[in-house]
Structure 1
Amino acid sequence: MKGVVFTEFLEYVEECYSPEMADKIIATSSLCSYGVYTSVGTYPHQELVKLISALSTETGRQVPDLIHAFGKHLFGRLIRIYPMFLTGFSSSFELLRSVQDQIHVKVRKLYPDAELPTFEYQSNHPDQLIIIYRSKRPFKDLAAGMIEGCIEHFGEAITLTWDSSVQPGDAGVRFVLERKA
């Protein structure tokens, strides 16, 4: 997993909790990297899982809730760091439909070794978007948070629902976005 996710997570912890909390979860997580990350480095995703689990222990918040909240925050941070990824998009649907074939292509140019999730799109109606999200990592809640961050960024009235059972034996998640009338 790219280091930018780790550096942003630790900054998120410092902002939402305290610098001491960030230090504490690093100290209690037995990390191979010792909690030293660069935004361009690559690190095992298990380290982020350990950090989030440690934060859950310290705060009493559930891991999925923490991951989801961080996903919303991360979307906002990534569009500030990489504003060129938003160029030409005027809605959540437009941006989200471009993740697989446009945004991930740009990400791979910046980070050739990035291991990215995949997105498939289904839509039979202009007010509905269905995204099939697949990842080797346990971060469906991160994806949901990022999608909600995208919706908030564009200020749209969209409901988001999801379920983890795309097909029997499939590890994917089916996100359904529907514009409210």
Structure 2
Amino acid sequence: MKGIVFTEFLDLVEDKFGIEMVDEIILNSTLESEGVYTSIGTYSFSEMLQLLKNLSDKSGISIDNLLLIYGEHFFSVIERSYPGLLDTYKDPMEMLSSIENHIHVEVRKIYPDAELPTFLIEEKSEKRLIMNYKSSRAMHHFGLGLMNKTFEYFNSTAEIIIEKIKEDGTEVRFIVNKN
């Protein structure tokens, strides 16, 4: 997993819970990196799982809700770091439907070894988008957070429903109904 995912996560934890919480979740984890991350490094996903679990245990917030909050936070990273990317879209449905064929292509140019989820479009219209998410990491709530902020960015709203295709969350269907 790319280091930027870790550095931004720890920034979020510090902003929301304080530096003491960052120290606590790192100290309570068994991390090969010892909790030292660079944005361009690559680290084991198991480290992120430990950090999330420890934060969930300490904060009382479920891992899914932490991933949702983190996804919403991470959108600001995209907004700040890649404003030209966002400007290429006219509306949120267009942007979401291009994740696989445009956005992930651009991410791979910057991070060639990034392990990204797969988003396959099942149905697309002006007001409705159905896409299937696949990832061994089961971080679909992170994706939901990014989607929420995508609609906010375009001054729009939507109802986003998640249907688990596999119970472990490695495959889910997002049903997006634009208001």
Verify same fold: TM over 0.5: yes
Q: Which residue of structure 1 lines up, in the alignment, with residue 75 of structure 2? A: 75
Aligned residue for 2:8, secondary structure, equals helix
Counterpart contact for 1:76–1:153, Cα < 8 Å: no
Counterpart contact for 2:138–2:170, Cα < 8 Å: no
Q: Which residue of structure 1 lines up, in the alignment, with residue 14 of structure 2? A: 14
Q: 1:125 to 1:104 in 2, by over 3 A?
A: closer
Q: Which moved more, 1:85-94 or 1:107-116?
A: 85-94
Q: Which residue of structure 1 lines up, in the alignment, with residue 130 of structure 2? A: 130
Q: Which runs of 5+ in 2 are unaligned?
A: none
Q: Which residue of structure 2 lines up, in the alignment, with residue 173 of structure 1? A: 172
Aligned length: 179
Aligned residue for 2:137, secondary structure, equals coil
Q: Which moved more, 1:73-82 or 1:131-140?
A: 73-82
Query: What is the rounded CA distance, in whole Å, between the counterparts of 2:40 and 2:84 in structure 1?
Result: 18
How far residue 57 of structure 1 moved from its aligned partner, in angstroms, is 1.1
**How high is the TM-score relative to the length of structure 1?**
0.92
**How high is the TM-score relative to the length of structure 2?**
0.93
Counterpart contact for 2:13–2:21, Cα < 8 Å: yes
What aligned pairs does 1:131-170 form with structure 2 within 5 A after superposition?
Answer: 131-165=131-165
Counterpart contact for 2:140–2:169, Cα < 8 Å: no
Q: Which runs of 5+ in 1 are unaligned?
A: none
TM superposition outliers: structure 1 runs of 4+ over 3 Å = 168-171
Could you say what the CA RMSD is over the residues aligned between the two structures, in angstroms?
Answer: 1.8
Q: Which amino acid aligns with 1:161?
A: I
What aligned pairs does 1:94-113 form with structure 2 within 5 A after superposition?
Answer: 94-113=94-113
Query: What is the rounded CA distance, in whole Å, between the counterparts of 1:120 and 1:137 in structure 2?
Result: 17
Q: Percent identity?
A: 39
